[in-house]
Chain A
Amino acid sequence: MRTYFLALGTTVIVCVGCAADGQQLFDKGEYHAPPAAMMQRPGPMVDGPGPAVLAPLTPPGAMMQAGYQCPPGYPGGPGMPGMMVRKSQIHFLGPDGMNIGWQIGEAFAKNQLVAPSIYDFAQGAVYRLDLTNIPGYDGLEFYPTLEVYPAHPTTDSFLAHSSVPVQITDEDLEQVRTNNFVTKVIYLPDPRFQELAIAGVETLVSTRLAPGVDPVAEADRRGTIMAVLRIGNKNYELGLSSGAQITKTGPNGEILQASHNVDGTQGGFAEPMAIGFVGTQGGIPHTQIMGGPSYPGMPAVNMVSGMNTPPWGMPRSATPIGLPGPPHIPLGGPASLQSHTIRNNTPVNVGKPVEHMLIDVEHEPGISLPHPVNYINYKETHPVYKQGEVSYPAWYGGAPQQ
């Protein structure tokens, strides 16, 4: 009996020990990404953070300048229109009569638009707006940010033909006035989830979602985001008068004018200046991939790694067939691939290769032509002259003069 229990206990310990190998005591199910620098260049022979991640992206302002650096005669060079920055048209639907301004450097351009109105914003950038003269909210001023997302292949066509509607409702403003933060995400639903051929825009509002639901992530799950409007009640002009001039002092104490007073009611206009760009920040690629500008009449450039941009994240692991192997997974670790096998399990029934081929052809009626000659008798007879006799050609026509 003692031997039996000893054997049973040993068996239980062995079995349980296999299932619970002690890692559960220390592994809490957490995941830890490698350091950012390591993610960017994960290891030897592997460059970039992974496939389809692009080279450092250029902010819209720099892209505009890039179009004019082409040599003469090249599209975009002198005499030709330059590259056009891709822009999304924002349609401020209301409330009617609301004035819309935006940040320009360290000041604000006031009253640039009156809703309902439209404006084309460069994509891939964040702008700070200045909302004033809102009906029913006299004296209140709001400074929402407008993040204009880059065009995606699923929204490219829509953005080229349609505006992105942005509607600020009384409900939104009431939420902000009661110290809530409102996020509105305007997105184009994925066509797979549409029953009819509707390419309509939808808006997600954070205040209408369940607590804890991220409207940006939710909209990204449902479709492709085109713009995000975030409204709070923070005053960004605290201590400054409306449309105030910002002054700086120079090295000798002189006063330098840093910006101008721009007010649309007085005829002033200034283009909005982005307060942030989509691109790389601190060497970490952004989640949004930004397409490049294009020439008039030419489609926008959507960068595809390895197609129209240098390949990034391509593994250099060798395979027996001469093609690059799969990327090192997980990224961030050293190269570990030692074997790469591809098995083709496709049933093949195509017969054996033909070794001898016979094709019978026949014309009806048959071909009948004069038979070719197989004998020619050609004989030339030449006159023979003796010494003292002169031969004249036949065309000479007579005897020579003596």
Chain B
Amino acid sequence: MTAFFKLSNILMGLMAAIVLTSHVSSSFAQTAMPPRTQGYWPLNHLAAPGVASQWAGQTGKACPGDLQTVQVTGPAGMLISFYDSMGRELKAASGVKVDVQVAAPYRMKISEIPGYPGVELYPTIELIDRLHPPAHLKHQFPVPLTITEEDIDAALADDLVTKVIYIDQPEIAGTASTTETLPAARNLLAEADMRGRPIMIFRMGRRQPDPRQPGTFFISGGPVMPIEVTPNANTPNTAIQIEQ
């Protein structure tokens, strides 16, 4: 039991995120940040969705079939849709946990956003690494993804919001999740790599599926296995709806 509490505390304490957007204020500064090196990172966050995850697969960070639990939260009442490899839409409320394949990009949809009537956005996520908790605890330590109203405002203003969620180095880990906003000229993957281990990339813009050519828009890297829906007090919908 002691070991469990230590593990849970460490994992919960290590999750952190870098947020790249002009509308999210900086609220965090690491004091024990390692000095910037002159190393070269061949990848950056500007690459097309799937490039970083493909490299992760080719470099052995993930194997086919590796699933990672991701928990997506947003404004209360927001609905989140995933699209599985069969093209079906899996719709759930904010706080849903899903298992997605590492080293593959996924297109999501967020809708029914309170205060944004009629707005639907289609962000993407791609897992470029995964956590390694004990197998029976993996659903208790999802990769957290929080979509804020600032992110939505930025996307609606034709900005591209990019987040890199990483796990801190144990030596410099804080006690809570942190968010840092960086200038656009910085390579988010390199910055996350200097701070710890990049796990996931989240990107959100305003692009909509062309109703005349929907097949060219949705990408599905593999299975999406909804494993849990966290009850939301403001949203009675606690079950995943599958729409063909």
Q: Which residues of A contact B (CB under 8 A)?
A: 81, 84-85, 87, 89, 118-120, 151, 153-163, 165, 191-192, 194-201, 269, 294, 296-300, 302
Contact = CB atoms under 8 A, between A and B. Distances in A.
A166 to B, nearest CB: 12
Given A161-B204, A197-B184, A120 B216 contact: yes
A201 B205 CA distance: 12
Nearest to A189: B184
A129 B35 CA distance: 53
Contacts of B216: 84-85, 87, 120
A155 B45 CA distance: 11
Interface in B203-234: 203-208, 210, 212-213, 215-222
Contacts of B206: 161-163
Contact of A89 (B53, B207, B220): B207
Q: Summarize B's interface: helix, strand, loop or mixed.
A: loop
A120 B219 CA distance: 16
Nearest to B218: A296
B157 to A, nearest CB: 7
A157 B203 contact: yes
23 contacts: A87-B210, A87-B213, A119-B210, A153-B47, A156-B46, A156-B47, A156-B51, A157-B47, A158-B160, A158-B205, A160-B203, A161-B160, A162-B206, A192-B185, A195-B183, A197-B20, A197-B182, A200-B158, A201-B158, A294-B50, A297-B104, A299-B47, A299-B53
A196 B215 contact: no
Interface in B193-207: 203-207
Nearest to B52: A299
B48 interface: yes
Nearest to A119: B210
Interface residues of B, number: 45
Given A197-B182, A198-B159, A157 B208 contact: no
Nearest to B210: A120
A191 B21 CA distance: 13
Closest 6 CB pairs of A and B: A161-B205, A162-B205, A299-B50, A156-B48, A199-B160, A191-B184
B179 interface: no
A163 B208 contact: yes
A160 B54 contact: no
Contacts of A194: 183-185
A161 B123 contact: yes
Contact of A161 (B54, B104, B207): B207
A289 to B, nearest CB: 15
A165 B46 contact: no
Contact of A299 (B46, B54, B213): B54
Contacts of A81: 215
Interface string B23-65: 0000000000000000000000111111101100000000000
